[in-house]
A = this chain, B = another copy of it.
Amino acid sequence: MLFARTFRAMTDRFHERLAGRDLEPLRPAHGYVFRYLAAQPSATAVDLAAHLGVSKQAATKTVAELVEWGYVHRTPHPTDRRAHALTLTGKGHAYLRFADALWSELEEEFAAVVGAEQLTIVREALETYLADSKSEGIRPVW
């Protein structure tokens, strides 16, 4: 499948460049966690699980890793004493900025190879298709 291979090719490039600079073995799944936590102020592990389309246990495990590495901080939840509010640390935000820069670099390379107008059409087409699809979860479950 063309989309699978393209996804693979892009993430391969991404991690190739990431490997040079960063320390912890951040995996693609982590990227979605960062983005979600940046967007949702006091998200909990259960919220995250729903967003990622995995069990709450799996989400908790991933969060624990990111906390250990210093990307994420767990604070008492403002209104629910069972829960923890998850937020990005400074390191977490820094990583996100770096990743964004890297993705736009890759996108520029894509544009350089296939043409800028084509990239625009590709993006619009995929967004249209996805809007029509309402697929669960984010990760390409294999």
Contacts and interface: CB of A to CB of B under 8 A. Distances in A.
Interface of A: 1-13, 27-29, 110, 113-115, 118-119, 121-130, 132-133, 135-142
B5 A4 contact: no
In the complex, the count of this chain's copies comes to 2
Contacts of A119: 125
Interface on chain A toward B: helix, strand, loop, or mixed SS? helix
A27 B11 CA distance: 22
A3 B5 CA distance: 9
A6 B130 contact: yes
A109 B5 CA distance: 21
11 contacts: A1-B11, A3-B126, A4-B28, A4-B140, A5-B126, A5-B138, A7-B140, A8-B137, A11-B141, A27-B142, A121-B125
B1 A7 contact: yes
